[in-house]
Structures are given as structure tokens and as C-alpha cells.
Amino acid sequence: MDTFEDIPIGQSPSQRTRGGFDSQTGIYHSLVQLGDGNKIPTKANLDTATFVMSQFPKLDQAVSKVAFIDTATGHQVTYSQLQRSIYSLATGLYHGLGVRKGDVVFVLSPNSILYPTICLAVFLVGGVLTTANPLNTKSEITKQVLDSGAKLAIVAPSEAHKLVSTNVPTLLTYRPENGDELSVQELIDCCEQMELPETRSTQSDIAAILYSSGTTGVSKGVLLTHSNFISCMTLLKWSTYKMSADQDVFLCFLPMFHIYGLAFFTLGLLTFGATTVLMQRYDFKGMLEAIHTHKVNNIPAVPPIILSLVKHNKGGYDLSSLRRVGSGAAPLSKELVDRFRAKFPWVHLRPGYGLTESCGAATLFLTHEEAKAHHAGSGKLLPTFCAKVVDYETGAAMPPYGEGELWLKSPTVMKGYLGNEAATAATIDSDGWLKTGDLCYFDDDGCLYIVDRIKELIKHNGYQVAPAELEAILLGHPQILDAAVIPLEDEEAGEIPMAYVVRAEGSQLSEDQVIQFVASQVAPFKKVKKVSFINIIPKSAAGKILRKDLVAQSKQHVRSKL
């Protein structure tokens, strides 16, 4: 099989710093390589589904090896059953519903044991996948369906009403009671004996259009190719082998429509032959029950869930099987990391970093020792990745500890944004560097530290204040369950930091007490100037704070007082 080869840039590896920094080019290089047995395939006529299924356990193992367990029903799917279902559904999509290569298929469903079958069948038949959050409104759904040009929608029965006005044909994930609509399972059953024509995509073809969360602006359709996914799956399989055992059990409560859930659970873990326990949606008690019941070893999580484990776990569940907790979507504070490790000393906490535009991959800690040695770090560059830290005012490439915007280059980087050449040009430069919009720095060991989103920095009297830093301090207060910091317009200072705080039950914490708590730990220009108490911090499905919602709320509050 053809393989991807790293192309050396600038100095030879022996001339770079121990952290992989090349002083001549300003480029940080990955310190690890995939090795001969794990090269990324570059065979042109290869689609994501074919690649993923080629990594399934061998036939004698696939018959008994469980791929997914549904926590709600206890239903299990083996790898051999999964493979048959994928082929049958792909055949049904082709013969029964007329899906052809390049047709966009819109998927709207909570996590389901059928979700991986649906996604891989769409890839196998040559379709283009686009997924959405079931919590999205009818207008948001309509906008995505029209923007993506979807030809078919596969939807949970409870969400079907949101697509009526689009006039797009729909296939239900399952048939409701007293219903007569066609469902995914029925299509699988009726097409088991049919042949699937050769409709495979090439690696350069678009595999998915995934819409960014829109936490700071208008949501855009990220174009990911089969090559992007295949590269990412190779990296995930390699890193999972490095960190996990063959019999490990993973728990999925993150949404499968999001790049984190899609890349890791729907696709990535299948290349490792792992068993995944699947929750329809996240709830804290359900997560603890699943760990207890199924002896779960691994949880890829997000910071709010890690915070919940630290603050809310009151016991009663056996969590001793837990060995690894990964974290992504937003940076972890040193204080939260320390509290987690103090409470769960036997669990390896391994933060990582990725974004939709890089197919969810970029940095990761491969060992517990590395993670412990770099508090609040987000891991080291994965194989095939290069990075630059670019000063967003001068454009200079920054050495270790110099702050700037993180730029990435890798075969996992997206092709661009759907129908938006201007946004694509602003995000990917002519040399293929992806500008992430994240303020960061690397240390001497090549570990990445995310400071905050550049667009979210608060400009106060000429100083720049990172909301994430203040949020980490606020979360250290014993009476604060959650917090978010936003910029509030100010006539004299330009912007001032304002905190939204969720108090613990029964707490009478006051605005002045919060302000003083932060003021005692930061420079004067970083002080929180205003506090508003709130029941819940709005967050995206990936756990990112929806600051634009809080900014709008603060402006509405100001207007109401005028």
C-alpha cells in the first residue's frame, strides 16, 4: 500500500531543539513518528468506510467481539453484525432511495447504536455526510439543510417535524409505534441480499460537511475529505494502541454529530477493535452508572464533565475500573487538573487539542508521566503535524514561551469552508497553514498551552485579559459551580471583565465577595468589575462556553435599565 511520507522542513531533526522547534523556519515539529507499520495510506481510490472496515477484527474474532453496547436497552452489536449492517444500509440507500456519489445526506439524531452504521453507510455509497445537533431549532436545521444542499435526511422520529418545510425526503432512524414510515432498520433488513455497485469515493473527494459551533460568529460548513478522515483515523488508532489495552471499554456520552464524537467514537475506535458503551445523551448520574455497570476504563470528556466529577461525585458508584480520562474542546486549568488528580489518583488525565477544521486532531499526551509533568498543557504534536506560533500583530514566528496564534499543518487539515472562499482564504494560507484563532505558546519540551481564543480576549485599557484565566480562578472558589467571563463595553476602559457565576446550592455568595476573591489573585487590570449570578452557563455540545449568548444577554440587561 502506498504510504504518506513526512517532508522535512528546514533543519534536520538532529539540529532542532528538544521540543522540536526549528529556529531557522520558526516551525515546531512532532517529536514522534507513526512507524513503518502505521503509515497513512495514500492509495487514491480509498474511502473512509472501506478503510475503517478494513481495520475491523478478523472474522473469527469479529463474530464475538462487541463493538457497541446501548446503555438504555442493553442491546449489543458485534463487529460482524456492524459490517453487515453497513453494507446492507449502503445498498438500501443506493437502490431504495437513489443516493449517488456526491449526494449530501443530512443526519439529525441523538447518539444511537445505529449512528455509526448510518455514517459509514453514507461514506460507503459515496455520499457526503452532514450532521446536526438535535437541540437546534427548526430555523437552524432548515438553514443547514439548504446550505449543505442535502438530498436526503435521516432523522430520529422526534426531530422529523423540523424538516417538513425543507421538502427533503426523510428516512427515520426507527419506526415509532403505530407508524408506517420507512426506517433505517427496515432498509437494512430488506437489502441484505442485494449488491452494492462500485460507487466508491476517492481520498480527494468530500466526505463530510461539519458545521462549526459558531461560538464566536456565524456557523460555517467545514469541508473534510476522505483523506482527512483516513489520516485522522490512522493517528487515532496509533495513539489508542499507545495508551490502551485490547480489552478496554470506552464510554461515549459526547454527541456523535460533533467532530469529537464522530472522529473518536463513530469511526476511530472501530479501527482499534474497541468496545464502546453508548449513552444517548450525557447526564452525570447516567455516566456514573455506566462506569459502574460496564466497568468502563476510558472516558474522552470535556472540561465541564471533569469539573462535575471533581465537585459533584457524592459516591455510591464503583469507579475503580476507570483508568484514563481524555479532555478536549477547551483548555483545563492547572487548579482543576490538580483537584482531579487529588480526587482520582489512579486515573490518568490526558488533555489534548483539536478542532473541526483539523478533523479533531492536533496534540495529545501519550503518557501519564508527560501529562503530569506539564500542568494545564494540551499535549504534544501528533505525528505528521507541524505548528507555528505567529504574533498576530507583527506576523513573526515565536520561539518557545512566546505567545501568538497557533497555525497547524497536517494531512488532516480541512479543504476549506463550503461556499465561502473569503473565509477559507482567511483561515488557510497559500502554503497550507491552518490559522486556528487560538492564542497559545509551546514550552521547551514541545508541549502546547492554549491561552484563549484571540477573538475572546478582553481589551482593557490597552491590556489584553484572557477570560479562561479568570474562569479558572473563579472555579477554584468552593461556592462556585461554574463560571464564564465576557467583555462588557466601558466608556473609559474600552472593555471590562464581567463574570457570570453559578452558585452552589444554598450559597449566598455576593457580587462583592466574588470580585474580591478574584482581585486577590490577579494584576489590577485583570480584576472582574461586574458579576451576574445565573442558573446555568450556556455551552455548545462540545462544552465550549457560548460567550456570544452571554454578551447578548448583558447588552439586553443594560438596555432594560436605560
Say what the pLDDT of residue 37 is: 72
> In which element (H, E) is residue 349 found?
strand 348-353
Say what the pLDDT of residue 427 is: 93
Question: What cell does 432 get?
Answer: 497550507
Going residue by residue through the chain, which has 562 residues, state the pLDDT in tens, using 9 for 90 and above. 333 334 344 445 556 778 899 999 999 999 998 877 778 888 899 999 999 999 999 988 899 999 999 998 899 999 999 999 999 999 999 999 999 999 999 999 999 999 999 999 999 999 999 999 898 888 889 999 999 999 999 999 999 999 999 999 999 998 887 777 889 999 998 877 778 877 779 999 999 999 875 434 567 899 999 999 999 999 998 888 877 777 889 999 988 998 989 999 999 999 989 999 999 988 889 999 999 999 999 998 877 788 888 887 667 889 999 999 988 766 777 788 888 889 999 999 888 999 999 999 999 998 888 888 888 889 999 999 999 999 988 999 999 999 999 999 999 999 999 999 998 999 999 999 999 989 899 999 999 999 877 888 888 876 778 888 898 889 889 999 999 999 888 877 778 999 999 999 899 999 999 999 999 988 888 899 999 999 999 887 667 788 888 888 877 665 555 4
Say what the pLDDT of residue 251 is: 96
Say what the pLDDT of residue 306 is: 86
Say what the pLDDT of residue 216 is: 44
CATH classification for the domain delimited by 48-385, as one of 3.30.499.10, 1.10.3720.10, 3.40.50.12780, 3.40.50.300: 3.40.50.12780
- Which residues partner with 261 through β-bridges? none
Taking residue 505's Cβ as centre, other Cβ atoms within 10 Å add up to 6
Say what the pLDDT of residue 12 is: 54
Pairing type for strands 128-132 and 150-155 reads unpaired
Question: What cell does 122 get?
Answer: 453514507
Degrees, nearest 5: CA angle 547-551-554:
135
Class of domain 463-561: alpha beta
Backbone φ and ψ of 209, nearest 5°: -120, 105
- DSSP string over 499-514: EEEEEPTT----HHHH
Residue type, 485: V
Domain ranges in the chain with CATH number 3.40.50.12780: 48-385
Rounded CA separation 80/494 (Å): 61
Domain ranges in the chain with CATH number 3.30.300.30: 463-561
Is the dihedral angle over the CA atoms 254, 256, 257, 263 positive or is it negative? Answer: positive
Pairing type for strands 206-211 and 221-225 reads antiparallel
Q: Are 441 and 398 in contact (CB under 8 A)?
A: yes
Rounded CA separation 428/423 (Å): 9
Say what the pLDDT of residue 6 is: 42
- Tell me the residue ranges of DSSP E strands in 384-432: 386-390, 404-409, 416-417
Say what the pLDDT of residue 190 is: 84
Backbone φ and ψ of 60, nearest 5°: -65, -25
Which residues touch 261 (CB under 8 Å, ≥6 apart)?
A: 111, 252, 254, 255
Rounded CA separation 442/449 (Å): 6
